[in-house]
């Protein structure tokens, strides 16, 4: 089966190596060209594959969260995790629902174990991401909320408000969130009820879920 290379596979810099015969989408070629990233076709065994999903963190931001996103990426990498950066890649105005959806899609689709989304306040991105089935996005603002969202709610996306947190505070929240495991136990049944609500609407539609 041929591998399909999309815009989200294009790194922010460097070189994109793909197996010979891969299908590179037009959008991927456009993004690669805009970033000055050459695309090289190599034999499969010479291509450095993407990190497995359980070692991959999707990250995205609108223009208001761009600077903080760039500052937090080294923190994620220092923990031995690989980043899938869906943008933005500059402070040009962008709509937070677009970036939130890109991150949520990767997490819900199993291509990333968790995701981080940053906008001005973090609220809008949380709302948008939670519209994607399978996502449990949590807006966190300190270590306690980050820990709780993981231990109790098994959140798989963290949203941050760049205007509400200093870089140091955001780093603390991120490290705590990434370093906290879901506690399971009595919390598993409650998270399952969240999943059940989601499934009810998926099966019946909003108008039928009575």
Distances in whole angstroms, Cα of residue 133 to Cα of each of 28, 66, 187, 200: 26, 26, 20, 11
- The DSSP element (H or E) to which 5 belongs, if any, is strand 4-5
Q: Which residue in 63, 89, 152, 187 is the catalytic one? A: 152
Angle at 116 between CA 111 and CA 121, to 5 degrees: 150
Whether residue 63 lies in the annotated active site: no
Secondary element (H or E) of residue 126: helix 123-129
The dihedral over CA atoms of 169, 171, 173, 174, expressed in degrees to the nearest 10, equals 160
The residues annotated with a catalytic role in the active site are: 152
């Amino acid at each position: 089966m041929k591998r399909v290379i999309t815009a989200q596979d294009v790194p922010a810099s460097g070189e994109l190596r793909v197996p010979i015969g891969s299908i590179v989408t037009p959008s991927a070629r456009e993004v690669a060209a805009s970033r000055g990233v050459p695309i090289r076709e190599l034999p499969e065994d010479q291509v450095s594959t993407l990190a497995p999903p359980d070692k991959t963190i999707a990250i995205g931001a609108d223009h208001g969260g761009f600077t903080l996103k760039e500052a937090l990426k080294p923190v994620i990498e220092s923990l031995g995790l690989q980043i899938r950066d869906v943008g933005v890649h500059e402070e040009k105005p962008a709509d937070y629902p677009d970036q939130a959806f890109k991150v949520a899609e990767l997490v819900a689709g199993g291509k990333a174990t968790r995701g981080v989304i940053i906008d001005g306040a973090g609220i809008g991105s949380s709302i948008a991401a939670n519209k994607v089935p399978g996502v449990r996005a949590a807006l966190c603002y300190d270590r306690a909320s980050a820990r709780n969202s993981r231990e109790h709610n098994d959140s798989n996306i963290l949203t941050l408000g760049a205007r509400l947190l200093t870089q140091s505070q955001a780093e603390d929240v991120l490290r705590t969130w990434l370093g906290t495991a879901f506690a399971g136990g009595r919390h598993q049944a409650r998270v399952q009820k969240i999943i059940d609500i989601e499934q009810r609407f998926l099966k019946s539609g909003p108008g039928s879920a009575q």
